[in-house]
Amino acid sequence: MINHEKNEMLLQWLQQFQNAAVAFSGGVDSTFVLASAQKALSGKVLAFTVKTPYIPDWEIEEAIEFCKKNNIRHRVIQAGILPEIRHNPENRCYLCKKYVFSMLKEEAAKEGLGVVLDGSNADDTGVYRPGLLALQELGIRSPLLENGITKSEVRYFSALLGLPTADKPSYACLLTRLPYNYEVRTTELERIEKAERYLASLGFAASRVRNHGTIARIELDKSKLADFINSHAIDGLVAYFRQLGYEYITIDLEGYRSGSFDTKPIQSIP
């Protein structure tokens, strides 16, 4: 059941600030936060998009295009791979968020912006999200989470606003495609991005290519497994994946699962 009052509550909540910086990935949640902040604060908003080797280029491109189309001030910040996450540790999300949002806070302060907003929603507290601790430690505000707005409500309100992300599949950084304690190589991140873009071109956008060295483990929505297996495009996909460097191309029979490498709770986040 959608609580229609939450949208108005969100706008009123945002109006407590004179201005704001928004961490903007171009995804469903951050796009809704940005559009809402732009409306509530009469344009006194600056969107920051962080470009790293583990964020797909197409997401950066979509973020840039959205801000241009909607006349929203926008900056893209370049960042590399932290040495601390070079081997994809289990607390990599905490370390990454701490680094990225510390940088965003500094940039926001230089611009005279009093608060940094992110797109965490109310559903994120029910899954493994170690980055939330880093956000809390840094004083980052999460409008959706703090106002109890769920993912389904974000999509509903986004559709009412005519946002292009209302039906956009959820994505996560490419480090989630690698096993924990696995050396992060830029060449493999590029390979994963190309493989997933190829899947999307076949009509399987909501999918993941989990990277196990020379093995690609494809996760698809279970309802689409039969269509995929019976598709005439499989031979072309196998050939393309082999060009990318995969020797074995497999289908995960459990289907797509968010955070499928998260098999146990983390004892100590930091």
pLDDT tens for residues 6-54?
Answer: 999 999 999 999 999 999 999 999 999 999 999 999 999 999 999 999 9
Can you give the pTM of this predicted structure? 0.90
**Domain residue limits, the chain:** 5-161, 185-251
Centre a 10 Å sphere on the Cβ of residue 37 and count the other Cβ atoms it contains. Answer: 28
Residues pairing with 49 in the sheet: 76
Which CATH code is given to the segment(s) 5-161? 3.40.50.620
C-alpha distance across the termini of the chain, in Å: 37
Edge-to-edge strands of the sheet including 215-219?
208-212, 215-219, 248-251
DSSP string, 49-80: EEE-TTS-HHHHHHHHHHHHHTT-EEEEEE--
d(Cα 76, Cα 211) in Å, to the nearest integer? 28
Alpha-carbon torsion (126, 127, 129, 133), positive or negative: positive
Contact 227, 214 (CB under 8 A): no
How large is the average pLDDT for residues 252-262? 84
Look at residue 266 in the predicted model and tell me its pLDDT. 39
pLDDT for the residue 127: 60
Residue 93: which pLDDT band, with cuts at 50, 70 and 90?
A: very high
Q: Are 136 and 97 in contact (CB under 8 A)?
A: no
